A and B are shown apart, each in its own frame.
Chain A
Amino acid sequence: MDDIETQGMDRRRFLTVLGVTGAGTAALSGCSTERVEKLIPYLVQSEDQVPGIATTYASTCTECSAGCGLHVRTREGRAVKLEGNPAHPVNQGRLCARGQAGLQALYNPGRVRSPMARQADGTFKDITWDEAIATLASKAVAAGGKLAVISGAGAGTFSTLLADWTGALGGRVVRYEPFDHEPVRAANRQVFGLDALPSYDFARARHIVSFGADFLETWLTPIEQQRGFAESHGYRGGEMAKHVYLAPRMSLTGMNADEWHPIAPGTEAALALAMAQVIMSERSGAPQDANALRGMLSGYDPEKVANEVGLTADQIRRLAREFASAQPGLAVAGGIGSQHRAAAEVCAAVNILNYVAGNVGVTVRFGAGLPTADGYGAMAALVRQMAAGEIAVVLVHDANPAYALPRAAGFAEAFAKVPFKVSTATMMDETAALADLLVPQSHALERWDDLQPRAGVRGLMQPVMEPVYGTWAAGDILLKTAQKAGGALARFAAPSWEAHLKAAWQELGRAAGAKDGQTWWVETLAAGGLYGEAPSPAPVRLAATASQVAGTRPSFDGDGAFIYSAYPTSMLFDGRGTNKPWLLENPDPVTKITWQSWIEVHPDTAADLDVREGEILRLVSPHGAIEAPVYVYPGVRRDVLASPMGYGHTHYGDYATGRGANALDLLGAPGDAAFVPYLSTRVSVEKTRRYQKVAKTEGKNRQLGRGIAEAMSLTSARKGLTPEAAHHAEAGGAAHQINTERELEAIAGFGEAQHEAATKGNYLGEHPQWGMAIDLSRCTGCSACVTACYAENNIPWVGEADVLRGREMSWMRIERYYEGGEDGEPLEVRFVPMLCQHCGNAPCEPVCPVYAAYHTPDGLNGQVYNRCVGTRYCSNNCPYKVRYFNWYAYSQRAFPEPLNLQLNPDVTVRARGVMEKCTFCVQRIRGAQNQARLEDRPLRDGDVVTACAQACPSGAILFGDRADPESRVTRAAADHRGYHVLEDINVRPAITYLAKVRHQVEA
């Protein structure tokens, strides 16, 4: 204090001088807050890259074995969006959530970036490719034939090269796929004498019975099956197929069934044979040679099996009669969640059921040539060899057996005994973490490759961008090693993998009769591959061993009170999806839980055990124990506890490691089984007295009469009733007016004022009125649209902590409501995709103090990010709660390098404090309008496709111009099943939902 006084400067003067000088400085220097940005040109312009315009490449998805075709949209040399290839016969332009999330595999921060070698102290060190190849070459040759390769089940040019390469060294390849459908194959061998997987035509089936096969989630080829299911089960023209789901647990596929019966686990075969017995005894139409089965089937009278199955004999007879009379039918089995020790018997019994109903050759078609793995038996043999020290070198490619096999199978211990272990994994997963040499392969989007998902279809992959890191295609690794090693491998002399692949395809071109090989190649590459029909097989007959099929009951280990079901989810699959934040944040379609694993407990069981949601239970089996929170779920049997697979990784990147409980820890060693039985143990329950909040996005799971998810019976639909009229017809009442007289007057008056306002300024003139129609009889709740929206619109994932606070940012969410399930009524599930309704009379627009939320002339509810000041009044007012606020700088956290390369440059990345919501993909609308303007033509119906509509495998979402009387959206909205959610509050949504249609279910 004294200092300042003596210097003759008091505080007031100091501040004055400071203020003047400061202002002067600012004005004098022309101080600018702008940063300096650089524009960096190409050295040589690439012909197919135009800045600002996307370049699309055709490729193939590798996120599961279905092999769907991709169109990869790239901007300025980076892949930014994956979409389906419309020309590809498997997915026909659609793509599931796992496929969309392939970008997060490409840009995953946890990727292995260069070859690594394990040092003496156990850590990994980066090495050069030359060093890695030299090491691999010398070890491979020195193995002296004691070489084993574990690879995935994909079939193509690479798998052939791998087999040849390994064979040349005297080793062998074990093709291992965790979900390998071995029970279906074994059943086909036994019943039809065919060692193959058929394809199933869901589109043609009029009656589908699934014995636990989750054909809409992870079984076989989900997108193609979902498309077919939407064709047959989606209501159209008075017709819809019936779907019956018979399994201990109601999976997502079960939620889309017209009937779910929680039959006792292990009784599926007996039930299928009983149904076959009914059909054989009551109907004549079965193929001649089915008579050989009569003796065996006579032991499966419905009266005999009813008790153990859990149905009455009358129910069994009704199921059989309905199945046989709706021709053609389709029965499927072999889902992983229902894969107990007698799963092959179940599939065999279902084969017989299909055969006597006349479905084989119609909806069950052999000749498709789906790729098959070698089964668990081959893997078990390899594990024994490794444990005995008989393997000197093992190479793991496209597989993670250290995680995907139950711990009790002893893979990790046996693997550790092999002196030299190599992995081509793109991420440091559990198996790679045990390896000695990592030679990371490039992601499918970074390399040349091909894939044959079934006979007649060969999909191509091409690099759509420079590799993100210093990785190589696995084919190049093999070829360079071969060239380095020489000797037995010397014949693999192709200069590169790309040359090897192109040479193989040149052969294909010649075989296809192409005159100009180069043109054929370019056209085939642009189309994404070769698409042909599978050869028609010879008619299928029963094999002699068919009559030996029996409804054997499987054993369950231990004597715990509950049977334990480990099942795969459509998001995480066999655990490969857990490193992708999009898939972790996309709520599980059944439980709506994000980022966490759980244990499903029936409400009555929960009451008996006195547990509530969130209580952490310890499940103990004879083989291990896991802990996870309870989720009360009416869709599981009272004596069954179910837990999802895919969690509990110990290595797999930061998002996956240490998250949740590994469901496989409770399973025992498969022993001599041909496949891993995931439904094979009993568990006892211990309370841990600990509690965890469950990060789920479900609010109340019942509608409380609000008419959000409407449904009507098939009878009402055939009469052409509206949902409201159907309610009253089915409940037996008369229609009543929703709004009172006074309300109707007010609505009309307000409507007049709106019309007047719509004739001023910008609003004058002809504008399209964008709208959407969502058919709830086709929506299966698969949530592909959710991830597609995340990818297209740069939506940040918020993580577990913020989901717990209810701050998930998904612009499109799938709401799941239960109906019934109480007082003996069957449980019915309805899905409603909920997104901004772009209301004509929006409650969010008049309350924004700064005009950030407003109505555009073309019918959108616009959100101008830079105007938004964060009042959040709009979100407060929204009755659908489809507005999302950036409470934190989520976009800074959600896109760490290199995930930020995925960002769509056409969409603004929102900062903290800004409200966001679905924009009907306005960037796509503007893009289409710009393109139409350049071409001097008007916009056509179908020019604009929103990301959600494009991804939906069921084709449930239609987008277009409601002002155009000819557009598909207008015609769909005029359907008698059409309604608006929360219609009576008069917000005039632009989205029309078409009510779900249900089959009448008798007891």
Chain B
Amino acid sequence: MRKLVFVLGGTLILVLAAVALSRDAQASRQAAPAANDSLLAPVLSASDTARLKGPSQPIFFRHDIHAGQFKINCQYCHYSVSVSSEPGIPSMATCMNCHLVIGGTDSTAQREIKKVRDAFNNKQPVEWVRVHYLARHAHFPHMRHVKVMGPNACATCHGDVARMPQVFQVNNVRNMGFCINCHLERDVSRDCSVCHY
């Protein structure tokens, strides 16, 4: 009996570990950017949204509509990515640039856009949940990478955000592997103190 418990328990652990590891591996393989056709972003049902990856945000902001369907440039909202280490979260006023007028076509969109308008009018900025955590002891300069890879290379690291209804982290930045691989491929500095200081 005891032996059976051990065997089952051990197998269970192995299986779970394998699943977890393969999920990571799959995520890395999805790094390649996909073509950005101007297709209509799909209408999502409740069960679709339940299966979306990534943290759920206070407002269901859909990048596939804004960046994909309407082709709004990444840097329209994330404005400081080409001059600063910080990419910049758009201010509420940026949202209101359009949503002052645009109220939404269906009831879901109207409900979410109302949240944006209420936040702006009540002077309560939306508290977005961070998706990409880089350890604080590593200093990543966005502007250097944008300078080298061009202003449209966001998808290289962030995945095909223009097709994401809900943003999720595509590449693992909890360790250095992803960063170092790219630096090796392009033969640029791998000196520790370039980022670790």
Q: Which residues of chain A have a CB within 8 Å of any CB of chain B? A: 13, 16-17, 19-20, 23-24, 27-28, 30, 34, 36-45, 50-53, 761-762, 854, 856-858, 860, 862, 864-867, 906-908, 919, 922-923, 926, 930, 933-934
Contact-size category for B: 35 or more
Chain B 184-197 interface 0/1 with A at a Cβ cutoff of 8 Å (1 = within): 00000111111011
The distance from the CB of B13 to the nearest CB of chain A, in whole angstroms, is 5
**B111 adjacent to chain A (CB < 8 Å):** no
Chain B 137-179 interface 0/1 with A at a Cβ cutoff of 8 Å (1 = within): 1110101100100000000000000000000000000000000
> Is A37's CB under 8 angstroms from B13's CB?
no
Q: A45-B91, A906-B139 are in contact. Are A926 and B127 (CB under 8 A)?
A: no
The distance from the CB of B183 to the nearest CB of chain A, in whole angstroms, is 10
Kindly state the separation between the CA atoms of A36 and B129 in the bound complex, as whole angstroms.
7
**B28 adjacent to chain A (CB < 8 Å):** no
Kindly state the separation between the CA atoms of A36 and B125 in the bound complex, as whole angstroms.
17
Stretch at the interface among B30-38, B44-52, B78-86, B102-110: B78-86
Query: Which residues of A sit under 8 angstroms from B129, Cβ to Cβ?
Result: 36-39
> Is B13's CB under 8 angstroms from A933's CB?
no
Closest 9 CB pairs of A and B: A52-B86, A27-B16, A20-B9, A52-B84, A42-B91, A51-B86, A862-B193, A45-B91, A37-B130
> Is A933's CB under 8 angstroms from B93's CB?
no
> Is B193's CB under 8 angstroms from A20's CB?
no
Query: Which residues of B sit under 8 angstroms from A43, Cβ to Cβ?
Result: 91-93, 120, 123, 125
Kindly state the separation between the CA atoms of A20 and B84 in the bound complex, as whole angstroms.
48
> Is A34's CB under 8 angstroms from B133's CB?
yes
The distance from the CB of A677 to the nearest CB of chain B, in whole angstroms, is 52
Can you identify 12 A-B contacts, CB atoms within 8 angstroms?
Answer: A28-B16, A43-B92, A43-B125, A45-B94, A51-B84, A53-B80, A53-B84, A761-B190, A856-B192, A926-B141, A930-B144, A934-B144
Query: Which residues of B sit under 8 angstroms from A34, Cβ to Cβ?
Result: 133
Query: Which residues of B sit under 8 angstroms from A42, Cβ to Cβ?
Result: 91-93, 125
> Is B17's CB under 8 angstroms from A27's CB?
yes
Closest to A32 in B: B174
Query: Which residues of B sit under 8 angstroms from A860, Cβ to Cβ?
Result: 193
Kindly state the separation between the CA atoms of A63 and B19 in the bound complex, as whole angstroms.
63
> Is A866's CB under 8 angstroms from B137's CB?
yes
**B70 adjacent to chain A (CB < 8 Å):** no
Query: Which residues of A sit under 8 angstroms from B12, Cβ to Cβ?
Result: 20, 23-24
> Is A44's CB under 8 angstroms from B13's CB?
no
Residue with the highest number of chain A CB atoms closer than 10 Å, among B20, B80, B138, B197: B197
Closest to B17 in A: A27
> Is A50's CB under 8 angstroms from B84's CB?
yes
> Is A856's CB under 8 angstroms from B13's CB?
no
> Is B125's CB under 8 angstroms from A41's CB?
yes
> Is A934's CB under 8 angstroms from B147's CB?
yes
Q: A43-B91, A934-B143 are in contact. Are A20 and B80 (CB under 8 A)?
A: no
Q: A39-B127, A42-B91 are in contact. Are A856 and B5 (CB under 8 A)?
A: no
**What is the number of contacts between chain A and chain B, taking CB atoms within 8 Å?**
143
Kindly state the separation between the CA atoms of A926 and B9 in the bound complex, as whole angstroms.
51
> Is A52's CB under 8 angstroms from B85's CB?
yes
Query: Which residues of B sit under 8 angstroms from A858, Cβ to Cβ?
Result: 191
**B2 adjacent to chain A (CB < 8 Å):** yes
Closest to A17 in B: B5
Query: Which residues of A sit under 8 angstroms from B127, Cβ to Cβ?
Result: 38-40
**B29 adjacent to chain A (CB < 8 Å):** no
Kindly state the separation between the CA atoms of A52 and B78 in the bound complex, as whole angstroms.
13
Query: Which residues of B sit under 8 angstroms from A867, Cβ to Cβ?
Result: 192, 196
Other A-B pairs beyond A37-B129, A53-B80, A930-B143, 18, CB < 8 Å: A16-B2, A23-B12, A36-B129, A37-B130, A38-B128, A40-B125, A40-B126, A40-B128, A41-B125, A42-B125, A43-B123, A43-B125, A50-B84, A51-B88, A52-B84, A53-B84, A762-B190, A862-B193
The distance from the CB of B171 to the nearest CB of chain A, in whole angstroms, is 16
Kindly state the separation between the CA atoms of A934 and B193 in the bound complex, as whole angstroms.
20
Kindly state the separation between the CA atoms of A28 and B20 in the bound complex, as whole angstroms.
9
**B76 adjacent to chain A (CB < 8 Å):** no
Kindly state the separation between the CA atoms of A208 and B88 in the bound complex, as whole angstroms.
56
Query: Which residues of B sit under 8 angstroms from A934, Cβ to Cβ?
Result: 83, 143-144, 147
Query: Which residues of B sit under 8 angstroms from A50, Cβ to Cβ?
Result: 80, 83-84, 86, 88
Residue with the highest number of chain A CB atoms closer than 10 Å, among B85, B190, B191: B191
Query: Which residues of A sit under 8 angstroms from B143, Cβ to Cβ?
Result: 930, 934
Query: Which residues of A sit under 8 angstroms from B193, Cβ to Cβ?
Result: 856, 860, 862, 864, 919, 922
> Is B139's CB under 8 angstroms from A865's CB?
no
The distance from the CB of B61 to the nearest CB of chain A, in whole angstroms, is 12
> Is A864's CB under 8 angstroms from B192's CB?
yes
Kindly state the separation between the CA atoms of A575 and B5 in the bound complex, as whole angstroms.
73
> Is A24's CB under 8 angstroms from B125's CB?
no
> Is B191's CB under 8 angstroms from A762's CB?
yes
Query: Which residues of A sit under 8 angstroms from B72, Cβ to Cβ?
Result: none
Query: Which residues of A sit under 8 angstroms from B130, Cβ to Cβ?
Result: 36-39
Kindly state the separation between the CA atoms of A34 and B130 in the bound complex, as whole angstroms.
11
Q: A38-B130, A41-B125, A866-B137 are in contact. Are A926 and B88 (CB under 8 A)?
A: no
Query: Which residues of B sit under 8 angstroms from A24, Cβ to Cβ?
Result: 9, 12-13, 16
Query: Which residues of A sit under 8 angstroms from B141, Cβ to Cβ?
Result: 926, 930
Closest to A862 in B: B193
Kindly state the separation between the CA atoms of A580 and B128 in the bound complex, as whole angstroms.
37
Query: Which residues of A sit under 8 angstroms from B85, Cβ to Cβ?
Result: 52
The distance from the CB of A24 to the nearest CB of chain B, in whole angstroms, is 6
Q: Which residues of B in the span 1-21 have a Cβ within 8 Å of any Cβ on A?
A: 2, 5-6, 8-9, 12-13, 16-17, 19-20
Q: A39-B130, A854-B192, A934-B143 are in contact. Are A51 and B197 (CB under 8 A)?
A: no
The distance from the CB of A550 to the nearest CB of chain B, in whole angstroms, is 63
Q: A42-B91, A919-B197, A926-B141 are in contact. Are A16 and B84 (CB under 8 A)?
A: no
Residue with the highest number of chain B CB atoms closer than 10 Å, among A16, A43, A856, A934: A43
Closest to A16 in B: B5
Query: Which residues of A sit under 8 angstroms from B123, Cβ to Cβ?
Result: 43
> Is A865's CB under 8 angstroms from B90's CB?
no
Query: Which residues of B sit under 8 angstroms from A37, Cβ to Cβ?
Result: 129-130, 133
> Is B197's CB under 8 angstroms from A922's CB?
yes
> Is B89's CB under 8 angstroms from A865's CB?
no
Kindly state the separation between the CA atoms of A19 and B190 in the bound complex, as whole angstroms.
41
> Is B135's CB under 8 angstroms from A866's CB?
yes
Q: A38-B130, A42-B91, A45-B91 are in contact. Are A926 and B84 (CB under 8 A)?
A: no
Kindly state the separation between the CA atoms of A908 and B197 in the bound complex, as whole angstroms.
7
The distance from the CB of B197 to the nearest CB of chain A, in whole angstroms, is 4
Query: Which residues of B sit under 8 angstroms from A51, Cβ to Cβ?
Result: 80, 84, 86, 88
The distance from the CB of B145 to the nearest CB of chain A, in whole angstroms, is 11
Kindly state the separation between the CA atoms of A590 and B93 in the bound complex, as whole angstroms.
56
> Is B191's CB under 8 angstroms from A27's CB?
no
Task: Please tell me which one of the listed residues A13, A41, A922, A923 contacts residue B89 in the complex, with CB atoms under 8 A apart.
Answer: A41
Kindly state the separation between the CA atoms of A38 and B128 in the bound complex, as whole angstroms.
5
The distance from the CB of B110 to the nearest CB of chain A, in whole angstroms, is 22
Query: Which residues of A sit under 8 angstroms from B92, Cβ to Cβ?
Result: 41-44
> Is A41's CB under 8 angstroms from B126's CB?
yes
Closest to A922 in B: B197
The distance from the CB of B96 to the nearest CB of chain A, in whole angstroms, is 9
